Structures are given as structure tokens and as C-alpha cells.
Structure 1
């Protein structure tokens, strides 16, 4: 009978290790999927902002803002960050009236983009931290997915004349 406790103890330890590995693999998968979803949401918000900026520029602000918006809309993956940063600079260079519906559309799209950017950054950071753990790397738990990438874009939040007035 004394040998029986050793077998029970070893079985419990193996079960606990297996449960931990399954939980860790599930966590890696969930964070990876959430980071990929956040990247798609960020992309959608970038497109919405660029489209709203193009409409606004076409009607009101001229060729430089319109060109920056079109470049952001048409940019490939390698040029996307630079194009979005240029669009942000162009949007900051014009005076947007928050009472104008077309300007408000760009301002609102920029706010939503800022939130999507923050969510994406947080999820990428978490996914990279989990995938960087030695046990996860050793067992190659994230091998079915690309390594999560940050999207390095300036803060897209636009200040408006109403926001510049101290309270």
C-alpha cells in the first residue's frame, strides 16, 4: 500500500501540470485572437477617419489634406504608419469647427481611432508578454499565429477650439 500513495501523488502532479499547460495554451490563443481582432478594428477606424477627412478636404480644406487622406486610404501595409501620421499632421494643421457636422465627423472618428489604438496597443503588449514567457516559447504555443505587431501612429486625438479653452 505505501507505493500506492506515490502513484496517486504523481498522478495529481501530472494532472495539475497538464491543467496549467492547457490553461496557458488557451490564454495564449485568446490573447492572440483578441489582438488580431483589435488590429482589424484599428484598421477599420483608420479607414473611417481617412474617408471622413477626404470628404471634408474635398469640400473645404483643399488639396494637401485630400492628398494625405487619399494616401492613407491607399497605403499598403509597409507605408501605412507613415501615411496615417502624415494625415494626423495635416488634420492638426487645419482649424476644425466642432459645430460643423463634417468637421465633427472627423473629430469623432479621430476620438474613436484613439480608443481603438489604445485597445490594440494594450492587447498586443499582453499577447507579446504571454508569448515571450519561456515555457510558452519552449512549447511553441503561439506557432499558429504571427507575432503581434504594434501600430506606431501618433495620438490621433484632435484638439478643437472649444477644447483649447480652459474650464
Structure 2
């Protein structure tokens, strides 16, 4: 009878360990999928920023800015970081009119690049941390996923741009209860 408890204990421990491995494998997969999605979103925002910069360059007839925007739009994956850094440096050297709608679009897209880069960096860090765990390395749980890489660019900020106001919702009509109170 005492041997029976050992067998039951070993089976229970094996079940717990396999559940933990399954959970870890799902987490590794989820983190890599999210990092890939964040990379695609960052790429889309960078393309929008480069396109908006090209429009501003055409309007202001700034040849250097237009060239940097075209290089950022046409850059190969290995050259993308340096092209985006050149575009950021060009954007920081020119004076922009905040009343111009194209400049406002550029400012909005630049802010979105900052947010997308932050999300991408956080997810890559989490995926790389998951890859470093002992059981992930031991059982090679991350072998199916390409290693995510940081996208290292200069913080894309524009000089002397006032904050774009966010529209506030209109107050409810008199006699109408707000949705939260219902």
C-alpha cells in the first residue's frame, strides 16, 4: 500500500509539471505573436510618418526632408533604423507651422510612432525574457519562433509643436440622464 502513494504522488507531480509546461509554451507563443504584431504596427506607423513628412516637405519645398522621407519609405529592413533616424534628424532641423493641417498630421503620426515603439519595445523585452527561462531553453519551447529584435531609433519628436487639443464630448441635453447613471 505505501508504494501506491508514491505512484499517485509521481503521477500528480507529472500532471502538474506538464500543465506548467503547457502554460509556459502558450505564454511563449502569445508573447512572440504579440511582438510580431507590434512590429507590424510600428512599421505601419513609421510608413505613415514618412508619408506625412514627404507631404510637408513638398509643401515647404525642403529637398533634404523629402529625400529623407523617401529613403525611409523605400528602405530595406536592414537599413530601416538608420533611414528613420535620418528622417527624425531632418524633422528636428526644420521649422514647422502648427496651423498647417499637414504638419498637424505629421505631429499626430510622430506621437503614434512613439507609442507604437514603446509597445514594441515592451513586448520584445517580455518575449526575450520568456526565452531566457530555464524550462523554455531546456525544452526548446521557443524554437518555432524567430527571435524578436528591438527597433532602435531616436525618439521621434517635433520641435516647438503645441499639444493638439483632444475634443471633449458635449454635455448631455437637459433632462437626459448620462449613460453611467442609467
Per-residue deviation, 1:130? 0.5
Counterpart for residue 93 of structure 2: 93
Misfit runs of 4+, over 4 Å? none
Counterpart for residue 20 of structure 2: 20
Counterpart for residue 42 of structure 1: 42
> Which blocks of at least 5 consecutive residues in structure 1 are unaligned?
none
> Which blocks of at least 5 consecutive residues in structure 2 are unaligned?
164-182
3-state SS, counterpart of residue 97 of structure 1: coil
Higher helix share: 1
C-alpha contact (below 8 Å) 2:49/2:109 kept by paired residues: yes
Per-residue deviation, 1:161? 4.5
Rg (Cα) greater in structure: 2
Give the Cα–Cα distance (whole angstroms) in 2 for the partners of residues 61 and 146 of structure 1. 42
What TM-score, normalized to structure 1? 0.94
Give the Cα–Cα distance (whole angstroms) in 2 for the partners of residues 24 and 118 of structure 1. 24
Counterpart for residue 132 of structure 2: 132
Give the Cα–Cα distance (whole angstroms) in 1 for the partners of residues 13 and 97 of structure 2. 65
Give the Cα–Cα distance (whole angstroms) in 1 for the partners of residues 94 and 111 of structure 2. 17
RMSD of equivalent CA atoms: 1.1
Give the aligned length. 163
What TM-score, normalized to structure 2? 0.86
3-state SS, counterpart of residue 3 of structure 2: helix
C-alpha contact (below 8 Å) 2:92/2:157 kept by paired residues: no
